Structure 1
Amino acid sequence: MGERYAELSALIGRVTRRWRTFTALAAWARAAAGCALVLAAAAAIGHFGHVDGGALILLWGVAAGLVSGVCVRALAPLRLAPRDLRVARLIEERCPELEDALVTAIGHRGADAGPMAAAVAEDAIRRARLLDLDRVIGREALRRAVLQAAAASLALGIAAFFSLAPAAQAARLLSLYVLPHRLGIDVQPGDVKVRAGASVRVVATLSTGDAVAPVLRTGSDGAWREIPMAKGPDGFAALLEGIQDSFRYTVTAAGASSPQYSVTVVRPPRVARIDLQYDYPAAFGMAPRREEDGGDIYGPAGTRVRITVHADKPVREAALNLTEGGVVRLAERSGALEGELTITRDDGYRVALADTDGLASDGDTEYFIRTLQDRPPDVRIVRPASDRQVTPLEEVSIEASADDDFAVASLDLVYSVAGGPERAVPFARSGEGTAVTGQRTVYLEDLRVRPGDVVAYYARARDASRGRRSSEARSDIFFLEVTPFEEEFVASQTQGGGGGGGGSDQGLEDLIQAQKDIITATWNLDRRARASGGRSAEDVRAVAKAQQELRTRATTMLRGMQRATDIRRRRPAGGAAPAGPDAMAEAVGRATVAMGSAYEQLDGLKTAGALPHEMSALNELLRAQAEVRRREIAQQASGTGGSGSNRRQQDMSSLFDRELAKQQQTNYETPSGRETRDEPKPADEVLDKVRDLAERQDALTGSQRDLARGRASVPEEERRRELERLTREQSELRRQAEALAQEMERSQPQGGRGGQSAQGQGQGAQQGRGAQGGQSAQAGQAGERQQASRALQQAAEEMQGAANELRRENPEQASARGSRAADRLRDVEQRVRGAQPDDRRRAIGELQLESRQLAEAERRLGGAAGGARGDGDRADRGRQRAAEQERLAERARRLEDGVRQLAGGAEGGDQQERSALGQAAQEVERQRLSERMREAAREERQAAGDQSGRAGQRGGVQPPSEADMQRERQEIARGLESVADRLGAAAGQGGASQQLSDELSSLRRQREELEALDRQLSELRQQGGEPESNQGGRDGQPGPSGQTAGGSGAWAAASELLKELRGENRGDVPETEGFNPGRSAPGTEGWKQDFEKWDRLKVQVAAALERAERSAADRLREQQSRDRLNAGATQAVPEQYRRLIEKYYRALATGEGK
């Protein structure tokens, strides 16, 4: 029995060995394939993902875990040995013919042997001997398992080969993280100083080689950033480019860090500011000048310039490198660098600096050195700047100004009397060396002129000689025509005999004016020839031709005079023949002779030689004209009969009074007698100068802006010349602005003293109180002018900055600063204008007129709203009204700006004026007139159906109705009238003017109400005449609708309006007495109402209101004119002093006391 079971056990053992071999091969194949896959994936990720550092450790840590898991999972079945019974069942499954005999025998192998068990065992053995083990686990399956295991092992080997290096690197990294002290990091260059913009290459060398890639960390103030370092031949390196600021850095690797190092940025020294001190040659007589924050040097040859350079850091040495060659050393003094040079030629320089760190700067900016040429002075007559007619006793104050590049040596008044030799007298000068003003009073009495003489005068200026001949410049030439007192006497003589000579006087007037033009042209040609050294022969001959033609005209007139003289000589009895020659004809004859001499000189191109003859011709013509007027007086006086002597004496007395009151132009009323005195600049002249500066600055700013826009297309040389020209012009404007600011400062105390002295002379107690009332206004004007002077100085500083920017070839910034300078000049203009009560009052009047004109235009626009028949016509008219409304809105905006400016600059006015202007400004802000007018224009367009209007309707916005727009226009007109009333109060409008203004506003409001009522009744009439609009009633009768309320309201409004018209305008609108609509309407239905009486009344009332409005407007204008006339200040001369002056004039006229 035991042998039988042993044979079965051997069979089970052979199958078990095959099974275990097959299972082991399969498990290894799975484990090797899984591990190979994991290792290959990790190696691929590390290689293509460039994983290093902690990520590398993590990657291979995860890979190791996965490999372990795969091995455990794949080899786990090998731990369990299969039991015999399980093997027997495997055999039974593969060999079904055993019919469970083997399983039954193995199952009873340990039981008590019995016949039945023996039989089963025998049967199992017999059947097993017939088995083929290949049917259970074949050799072919074992060979496949061996091949799979071998392939998996090969794949594992390959994956392990490629994974060995990164896995080992990960292991080394892990050891460095665990033990960081084992890693040494060497960093180069360590602490270093570099120039701004340079680059720094940081190299790190690790003691462990390239096991780990270090990281460069840079930062400052706690903000750090990391930069990966790349492997290089000398270690790991990182390049930092374009360094501008200092920072710290360190290198980290695998948890280890190097010490922190610093990179310090050092910059070469730069110029922070350059100050210039000019010391001009003594010959110029110019005071030293200091210019701060400059650089470019402009001055005459021989000027010593002390240059002070301020650097942004301590400097070891410094020098000025001149463009044309040469070096000027700079020495340190008081924390700055100073040097000195003398201007000898056009040049340039750069500032070279070197600091203690060894950094040097050759100078990025080149500064100009320009020698200014000494041009002739610019001289002009300021007052009177036109020809004048004067009397033989008049005193004429002449004022001139001269500007020179460096210094004005002399300023003279040159005049000649009656074509005689020129005489030169110096002006009383004021101002600095480069800008000089002069004043001189010409006493015509001392010149012993007589009627018909002409005094020609001009200003002459010379600059400093500087070792050479001075340059001379002349102004335009002007004339003082001496007229007889009889010219004033003629104006008072209203009766007398017929006068002859009117036509001769007109012809002489034309000849005189033409001769003046010829003298002016010759003078300008001669002046141009003196200035430029050459002249145009064609121009001189053209003047000669004009002189010859004028001589021909004078000769023709002379012949006519001679014929008239011959006729008078042959006059029959009854009239006395002239005893002597005709003085008028002789004067014209002498003028023609002088014209001929002038023509000869001009034909020979001798302008200087022609001028005396031309002046002589003009003087003779004026004498002839005086003779004509003298004859007129004689004829008129002779026609008065025997009482002529008494009449002449009375008229002479009237003449003296008129001469005394003539513009108060004599100096006898001042204590200074004939002394020349300094007078403050007239405000109009200052205003003109400021306005001229502003206009020139605007033009210069435009040129700078054009140059900035087109600098890329302009050649370098041309751009350089343009920059130099703009720089010169900007510097000239700056100099003139500074000179004007100084004049304004000097004029303030003088004006104050003069005002006080004028107030103190001859004023009574009442006038003294009036003067005290005006002192506050004068103080406000002085403060306003002081602020204007400061603003003008600020504008000059902006101009200086613009000039500096131009020298640095930066026209963009120059134009910006020029714009700011122009804005400041406009502010100065506004302040100067506001400081003058007359100008301010005139501006207020203009704004008041503009406000009333706008109100009237707004009403006319509202009246033109109707009249359109078709939709197309209505749309066109609406667009036209919208365009007109836009124009009115723009005018309203300018009106608002003007009111705000006047309110802001009203410090110089009295309390009433300031209060009224403030109320006007508040009314402007409250009404928002321009905004409302623009909104009305938009609504008009919307109602007209243009694009914007259709868009609004598509959006659900309903356009306003015609009545709403009409009411808005009337409100705007009333707002404009309110602004006009407040401006009238500011302009000193009296109570009567205010009452008339209120009356006019009331009439206009009533007219508007009449128009609105007429429109309402017209709508009611149309509704009553259209049955299709009333479908509520039966048999065509109108049913209950809105007409009831509309008719009652319109009729009640008509009643109230008529009551108001009767109460307020009983005398002006008598038409309202014959119509009474009653307390209620005769019927609210349209078919019951009769509008015929209302139509007639409307026409009559409208005409009456128009007459009343016109009458009120005329009365208002007259009252305002009286208010303006009464507003003028009176400076009365004391009566005793007046009598003394009158006595003096009488003595001069009658010859008493001689």
Structure 2
Amino acid sequence: MTMQRWAKTRNTEHQLLGIVRDVRRRWRMRQLIQGVAVTLGIGFAVFFIATFGIDRLRFDDGAVLAFRIVLWAAAAGLLAWFVVRPLLRRVSDAQVALYLEEHEPSLKAAFLAAIERAGSPDARSGLDARLLEVAARRARRVDRGRRVERDRLRRSTAWFAGVATAVLLLALFGPAFQGTAGSLLLSPWKTADAANPYAIAVEPGDALIARGSDQLVRAFPQGFETDEVEIAVRRGESEVWERYFMTPAAGGAAFEILLFDLDEPTDYTVTSEGVRSTVFTIEVADLPYVDRIDLEYRFPAYTGLSPRTVEDGGDIAVLRGTEVRLRVTPTMVTEAARLSFDGEEEGTALEPVDGAFETSFTVTGETFYRIEFMGPGNRFVIGSPDYLVEPLDDQPPGVRISEPGRDTRLSPIEELYVEVEAEDDFGLGQVELLYSVNGGEESSRVLHGTARGGTTQLSGGHTFFLEEFGLEPGDVLSYYARATDLRSGGPGGGTESSDIYFVEIRPFDRNFRQAEQGGGGGGGWGVLASE
């Protein structure tokens, strides 16, 4: 019996100590979950602030380094304080028992007393054994202490799940800069330049130009929008950087500035919104450059226009389809020259003629062109600024009836003088007056034919003798003018008509009065035209 009692008491001790271990384990688990949740929440807040700061400072190297230090120091501090420190805390069996007694008053201090006596030689006999049995029985009534941490563990787990979900959603659907800056923060081996989404592309970058020529500089902000772009220029040996604002280019995708009269090496860099390009250098040398460009325009044949010469020109704005002949005179003797359009890597060779160079091309679309000359080392160098080529579309003609310019009521024997005005940007084709009686078949009177090519403005008239139509009261004569241009095809151009007017035939007995008409007699028509 003594051995059985001893074994029973020992088993009770193991049960009580097992309860203590379970309560301690669940307490540590709750501390771990809470610590990880706090670390994750605060850590991500620091992470977001760091990425925002890097983005606002446009991925500056110093800012990236500083925020890296702050983020990693914060992460280490949070883990040490909220995760490692609670787990390293030593909690005795008596402290766990007291913790259990505080949360389960029904134990009535029996559990704490039993744990304090457990393991002693006297605990296996007498009153101590009885105490152990009472404590074990009361512990079973409170589900072996599992109720103590159950609700708190569930709340901690829910809190952790909520924080983790929020962090995940922000990571997946947060602002774009968060991913770029975040990868830079979490990868110390990455450089800021490699991950920086903000940059300013600059054309031409480093360049070699003729001494005293001009240079167009274009800047293309990448990854951000801005209204102001500034260029800093340092000329020759000067230590002073001159700053100028660049103007938006057509289309708004770029900014540009023309640097005039560069006769010494020039450094420049472009900045905007905290983003800075690298420093580029424009070297100058005694190189060939455009002295003058003479242009000859040969318009499409349908216009009937004579060729036109523009001396010392550059920009081109002519009718689409016009052949442009260029004669380029350089500032110094050079072996070769070529014509390059926007986007071309290699241009078209120009033909040398009496110390100058000639070529031709047809204007089909908007673009830019420049001249390049052979320079030192058999390398082509830029010999002119970029000139604009702008095609003009042939617009439809305009036509109207200026006289009488309204509906009228006449008797069957009166006369009606009609005057037509027409114009076109490059040349009128046919101008005619069309009319019909009571909506019948239309008839036409041609005021200007295509044989008179090159006419851009016209004023012509025609007199209707109403008695020739055999009209009766109640009949209606309608008329309008129509004009075409000389274009045979392509964009723009075409045919246009004037407003339509009506003449109502009234009876003789209604206050008949012969109208004075300015067109004269004879049923004829007259035309005044000007180029």
Q: TM-score category by the smaller chain?
A: 0.3 to 0.5
RCO greater where, 1 or 2, for CA within 8 Å and sep 6 or more? 2
Question: Which has the larger share of helix?
Answer: 1
* TM-score of the aligned structures, taking structure 1 as reference length: 0.20
* TM-score of the aligned structures, taking structure 2 as reference length: 0.40
Question: Which has the larger share of strand?
Answer: 2
Larger Rg belongs to: 1
